[in-house]
Every structure is written in structure tokens, then in C-alpha cells.
């Protein structure tokens, strides 16, 4: 939880959820829908762990407060499509 002088606090939802889970797409869509109606939250991110070619673990985050990313997630029909959104729109750290 972070503080914000206007509302006293800011709540972030950071969901670490690997692409190996069957509910990956449904969870992403639920978070995207929630983001559309709840504007009192800070960051809302779906997070996957990946490994680069050198074997280093990294995290890829989808920012569901980004309207373009959120719309792509809501239009996705499969986990493969969601994985592609992570590849094209994910933030790597």
C-alpha cells in the first residue's frame, strides 16, 4: 500500500500468475474488467516469471490500467493470445 495525500492511501493489485495455469486468461479478464470500473486503485498488474536466453529470471508485467493493454486482454480468446500480449505489451524487469 502506498500513500497519496488526496485519498490517504493507494492500493495496488500485483498478481503473480504463471501462464502454466488453466485459469490464466479468466483471471486476466476478471482483473481487466475490474480495472474498468474501479478507478480508486493504483497499479493493477498481471505478472509472469520468465527466463531469458542466458538463464536469468525476469518478470513480465501487464499493466491493466493501460486502456490499450486492457482492451487486448478483454478481446483475447486463449491463453496463447494472452501470452502473445505479454510478449508485445509486457514490461520486463
Q: What is the pTM of this model?
A: 0.81
Domain ranges of the chain: 11-92
Q: What is the DSSP string of 70-90?
A: HHHHHH--SHHHHHHHHHHHP
- Comparing 10 with 30, which gets the higher pLDDT? 30
Render pLDDT for 35-66 as a digit per residue (tens, 0 to 9).
888 877 888 999 988 888 888 888 999 999 99
Name which of 87, 69, 92, 79 is nearest 19 in CA terms: 79
Output the nine-digit C-alpha cell for 12.
495496488
* CA atoms of 62 and 88, how far apart (whole Å): 10
Amino acid at each position: 500500500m502506498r500513500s497519496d495525500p488526496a485519498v490517504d492511501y493507494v492500493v495496488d493489485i500485483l498478481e503473480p500468475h504463471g501462464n502454466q495455469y488453466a485459469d490464466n486468461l479468466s483471471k486476466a479478464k476478471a482483473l481487466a474488467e475490474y480495472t474498468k470500473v474501479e478507478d480508486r486503485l493504483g497499479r493493477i498488474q498481471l505478472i509472469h516469471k520468465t527466463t531469458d536466453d542466458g538463464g536469468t529470471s525476469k518478470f513480465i508485467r501487464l499493466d491493466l490500467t493501460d486502456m490499450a493493454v486492457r482492451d487486448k486482454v478483454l478481446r483475447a480468446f486463449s491463453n496463447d493470445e494472452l501470452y502473445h500480449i505479454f510478449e508485445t505489451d509486457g514490461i520486463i524487469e
